[in-house]
C-alpha cells in the first residue's frame, strides 16, 4: 500500500445545483471544519510549549543551565522553521485532513519520547523531530481558510482561528504545573503527547479538503465576490515552480513581510519562553504567579488576534498593513512597561504581559494573512511556509542567543536587545502600509484597463 496516497487532494465532485442545499451545506461544513481546525491547532501548541513550562523543574532536577535549555529551544525552532517552509509547499499539494492529523499524532509521539529520556543528545533529537512535525500544523489551516473563507471576511476568521494557539498557550502552563506538581516534569511531557495523538484521530474524522471536493462551488462564487481573469482561473492547480517562484520568491513585498516576521517571532518567543523565568528570577515572583502572568500574555494575544483581524476587514477594507504597523508601535511601549514593573507586582506584570500579547499577536497573525493574499489562493501554504521559515529563524534566535545574553550580561541587556528588535520590526512593517492583496490589485488593474478606451 502507498501510504502517501492519503495526502493526495480529494477529487472534485459534480457541483450541487440546489441553491438552498448549497447554502445549508456551506453553513454546516464551514463550522465543522473551523472548530475542528481550531481544536487541532490548539493541541499542536500544547506539544510545542510543553518543554517551555517544564524548564524550571528541569533546571532544579537535572542541573541544566539557561544556555543548555536555550539550545534545546533553538533546535525546535530551527527544525520547525525549516519544516514550515517545506511543509508549506507540501500542504498546497496535499489533503489538509490527513496532513494536519498525521503531523499532530507524530508531535504527540515525540513529546512522549522526550519525557522518557535523560540524555541531552536524545532531548535534542526528539525535540528537533517534534519541531519538524509541528510544521505540519498551520499551513493546512492556511489552505482551509483561503478555500472556505473569502477575502472580505478572511481577516476576521483568520483572527479567530489564530486564537487557537492562545488557547493552547493558556492551557499548557496550567496543565504542566499541575501534572509536574503531582508526577514530575516527565509526565508533564507524556500526558500532552497522549492527548495530541487522540486529537489527531479526531481531525481525520472531522476535516475535509476543498468545497469542490464536496460538490460545492468556490467560496467566491458562493459569496458573489469577483476574482480577476477568466472564470475559474483562480482555481487552477499550480506547479510547485509557479507557487514558489512566481507567487512567492519574485514578490518583493513577501520578502519584506518575511524579514518583519523574523523580528515579530523574536519578540513573541522571547516573552513566551523567557518571561516566566524573568519574573521568577529577577522580579521574585513564585512559579505559580509567574506562570499566571504568561497566561495573561496568551489572553492578550487571544483578543489581539480578534481585534486586528476585525479592524483590518472593517476599518481598512481588507488591507493588513496599517494594523500591523500601529500594533508594532504599541509593542515597543509594552516591552518598556514590562521592564519597569515593580518586583512582586503581579497585577502590573499581568497588565504588561496582556498588552504585549495583544499587540504582538496582531502582526503575528496579520503578516501571515497578508502573505497568503499577496501570493495566490493555491500557493497560500507555500507563502505561509516561506515567511514562517523566517519567523522561526527569529524564534531560534530567541533561544540560545537570549539565554547567553542573559547569562553573561543580565536581564538589563536582555531588554535592550528586545527593544531594538521591536523597533526594527516596526521599520519593516511601515513600507507595506498601503499594499493591497494580489486579487484586489489585479481587479483594480482590470478596471483601469476597461476605462482607458472610454477616456481615450
Query: Using only C-alpha atoms, what is the Rg of the chain?
Result: 22
At residue 180, the pLDDT reads 76
40-64 pLDDT, tens digit per residue, is: 999 998 888 787 777 777 777 777 7
How many Cβ atoms sit within 10 Å of the Cβ of residue 120? 14
137-154 pLDDT, tens digit per residue, is: 988 998 899 899 987 888
What's the residue count for the chain? 456
How many Cβ atoms sit within 10 Å of the Cβ of residue 249? 13
With a CB cutoff of 8 Å and minimum separation 6, the contacts of 400 are 67, 70, 71, 73, 74
Percentage of residues in the chain having pLDDT higher than 90: 37
396-425 burial, b at 16+ Cβ within 10 Å, e below that, comes to: bbbbbbbbebbeeeebeebbebbbebbebb
Tell me the C-alpha distance between 80 and 275, whole Å: 21
pTM for this predicted structure: 0.74
Q: What is the mean pLDDT of residues 95-114?
A: 95
Percentage of residues in the chain having pLDDT higher than 70: 90
Tell me the C-alpha distance between 353 and 335, whole Å: 9
C-beta of residue 67 within 8 angstroms of C-beta of residue 252: no
- Would you give the DSSP letter of residue 375? S
* 3-state class (DSSP) for residue 446: helix
Among 93-97, 102-106, 177-181, 326-330, the least confident range: 177-181
Q: Over 80: is that where the pLDDT of 246 sits? A: no
Q: What is the mean pLDDT of residues 357-377?
A: 86
Please report which confidence band the pLDDT of residue 1 belongs to, taking 50, 70 and 90 as the band edges. Answer: very low
φ/ψ bin of 229: left (φ > 0), alpha (ψ from -120 to 50), beta (otherwise): left
Residue bearing the bigger pLDDT, 202 or 90: 202
Q: What is the mean pLDDT of residues 429-440?
A: 75
At residue 394, the pLDDT reads 87
Can you give the residue ranges of every domain in the chain?
35-209+239-444
At residue 158, the pLDDT reads 86
- Would you give the DSSP letter of residue 236? S
What separation in angstroms does the CA of 89 have from each of 222, 252, 308?
A: 27, 19, 27
Q: Over 50: is that where the pLDDT of 274 sits? A: yes
Q: What is the DSSP string of 164-200?
A: HHHHHHHHHHHHHHHHHHHH-HHHHHHHHHHHHHHHH
C-beta of residue 108 within 8 angstroms of C-beta of residue 196: yes
Among 132-141, 222-231, 269-278, the least confident range: 222-231
Q: What is the mean pLDDT of residues 65-70?
A: 72
Which sign does the torsion angle of CA 163, 301, 253, 245 carry? negative
Tell me the C-alpha distance between 121 and 291, whole Å: 28
Among 54-63, 215-224, 358-367, 436-445, the least confident range: 436-445
Q: Over 80: is that where the pLDDT of 156 sits? A: yes
Q: Which CATH class is domain 35-209+239-444?
A: mainly alpha
Among 85-94, 111-120, 235-244, 295-304, the least confident range: 235-244
Residue bearing the bigger pLDDT, 438 or 410: 410
Tell me the C-alpha distance between 73 and 206, whole Å: 32
Q: Over 80: is that where the pLDDT of 450 sits? A: no
Tell me the C-alpha distance between 450 and 442, whole Å: 12
Q: What is the DSSP string of 281-305?
A: HTS---HHHHHHHHHHHHHHHHHHH
Amino acid at each position: 500500500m502507498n501510504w502517501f496516497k492519503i495526502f493526495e487532494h480529494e477529487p472534485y465532485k459534480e457541483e450541487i445545483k440546489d441553491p438552498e442545499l448549497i447554502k445549508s451545506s456551506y453553513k454546516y461544513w464551514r463550522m465543522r471544519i473551523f472548530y475542528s481546525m481550531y481544536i487541532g491547532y490548539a493541541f499542536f501548541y500544547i506539544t510545542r510549549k510543553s518543554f517551555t513550562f517544564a524548564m524550571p523543574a528541569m533546571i532544579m532536577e537535572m542541573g541544566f543551565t539557561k544556555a543548555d535549555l536555550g539550545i534545546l529551544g533553538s533546535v525546535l525552532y530551527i527544525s520547525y522553521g525549516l519544516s514550515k517552509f517545506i511543509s508549506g509547499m507540501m500542504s498546497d499539494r496535499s489533503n489538509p485532513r490527513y496532513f494536519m492529523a498525521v503531523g499532530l499524532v507524530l508531535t504527540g509521539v515525540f513529546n512522549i519520547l522526550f519525557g522518557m529520556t535523560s540524555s541531552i543528545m536524545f532531548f535534542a533529537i526528539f525535540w528537533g523531530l517534534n519541531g519538524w512535525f509541528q510544521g505540519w500544523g498551520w499551513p493546512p489551516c492556511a489552505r482551509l481558510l483561503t478555500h472556505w473563507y473569502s477575502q472580505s471576511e478572511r481577516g476576521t476568521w483568520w483572527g479567530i482561528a489564530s486564537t487557537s494557539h492562545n488557547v493552547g498557550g493558556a492551557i499548557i502552563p496550567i496543565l504542566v504545573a499541575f501534572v509536574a506538581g503531582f508526577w514530575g516534569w516527565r509526565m508533564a511531557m507524556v500526558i500532552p503527547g497522549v492527548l495530541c495523538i487522540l486529537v489527531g484521530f479526531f481531525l481525520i474524522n472531522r476535516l475535509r479538503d476543498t468545497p469542490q471536493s464536496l460538490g460545492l462551488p468556490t467560496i467566491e462564487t458562493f459569496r458573489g465576490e469577483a476574482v480577476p481573469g477568466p472564470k475559474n482561473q483562480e482555481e487552477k492547480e499550480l506547479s510547485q515552480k509557479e507557487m514558489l517562484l512566481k507567487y512567492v520568491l519574485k514578490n518583493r513585498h513577501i520578502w519584506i513581510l518575511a524579514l518583519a516576521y523574523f523580528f515579530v517571532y523574536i519578540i513573541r518567543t522571547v516573552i513566551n519562553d523567557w518571561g516566566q523565568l524573568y519574573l521568577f528570577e529577577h522580579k521574585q515572583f513564585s512559579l505559580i504567579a509567574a506562570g499566571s502572568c504568561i497566561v495573561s500574555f496568551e489572553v492578550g494575544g487571544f483578543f489581539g488576534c480578534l481585534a486586528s483581524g476585525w479592524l483590518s476587514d472593517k476599518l481598512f477594507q481588507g488591507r493588513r498593513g496599517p494594523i500591523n504597523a500601529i500594533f508594532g508601535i504599541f509593542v515597543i511601549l509594552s516591552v518598556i512597561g514590562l521592564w519597569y514593573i515593580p518586583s512582586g507586582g503581579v497585577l502590573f506584570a499581568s497588565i504588561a504581559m496582556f498588552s504585549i500579547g495583544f499587540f504582538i499577536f496582531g502582526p503575528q497573525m496579520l503578516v501571515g494573512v497578508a502573505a497568503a493574499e499577496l501570493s495566490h489562493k493555491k500557493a497560500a501554504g507555500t507563502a505561509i511556509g516561506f515567511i514562517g521559515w523566517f519567523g522561526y529563524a527569529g524564534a531560534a534566535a530567541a533561544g540560545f542567543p537570549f539565554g547567553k545574553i542573559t547569562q553573561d550580561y543580565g536581564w538589563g541587556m536582555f531588554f535592550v536587545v528586545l527593544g531594538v528588535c521591536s523597533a526594527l520590526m516596526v521599520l519593516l512593517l511601515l513600507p507595506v502600509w498601503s499594499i493591497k492583496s494580489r486579487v484586489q490589485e489585479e481587479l483594480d488593474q482590470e478596471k483601469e484597463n476597461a476605462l482607458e478606451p472610454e477616456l481615450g
